[in-house]
Structure 1
Amino acid sequence: MTTKTYHVPNISCGHCVNTIERELKSVEGLKSVKAELETKSVTVEVNAEEVLAEVEKLLEEIGYPAA
């Protein structure tokens, strides 16, 4: 199990948080996701480090690239 926190400066409202969490839940191998408006961060827990590349790609595709 691997946990990683990304800084995502584009998070500006609750809708952003909901969109990120909803979209990332579709990633195969993702155990949990928590987006936070206050810290502008997204924390994910994945089965394998290889899944992190998919998480990063999807964040960029949906308009919330990690800094």
Structure 2
Amino acid sequence: MSTETTFQVPSLNCGHCVASVTRALSALHPLVEVQADPASKTVRVQAPASVERARLIAALTEAGYPPA
């Protein structure tokens, strides 16, 4: 079973940001899917239920893109 979570990420501004966020979140589990949109400053993550929201937040924060 997977869950979908959307984060507001104010510092998401460009393609490099999208790549960094995608890389950081994808490293958590091979089945993680990431859609990052710099225009709306949102990151949508679909991940197995075993990947806790706190781990997603920690990965974003460690990559330099803390969610609001």
TM-score, length basis structure 1? 0.87
Cα separation, 2, equivalents of 1:57 and 1:45: 16
Number of aligned positions between the proteins:
67
**Residues 25-40 of structure 1 aligned to structure 2 (within 5 Å):** 25-28=26-29, 30-40=31-41
> Once the 2 structures are TM-superposed, how far is the Cα of residue 30 of structure 1 from its aligned partner?
4.7
> Once the 2 structures are TM-superposed, how far is the Cα of residue 51 of structure 1 from its aligned partner?
2.1
Regions of 4+ moved over 3 Å: none
Give unpaired runs (5+ residues) of structure 2: none
Identity of counterpart residues, as a percentage?
Answer: 37
TM-score, length basis structure 2? 0.86
Give unpaired runs (5+ residues) of structure 1: none
2:63 is equivalent to residue 59 of structure 1: no
Query: What root-mean-square deviation, in Å, do the aligned CA atoms of Structure 1 and Structure 2 show?
Result: 1.6
1:15-66 CA deviation, whole Å, 9 max, x = no partner? 1011111121101275311111111010001111652211100101111000
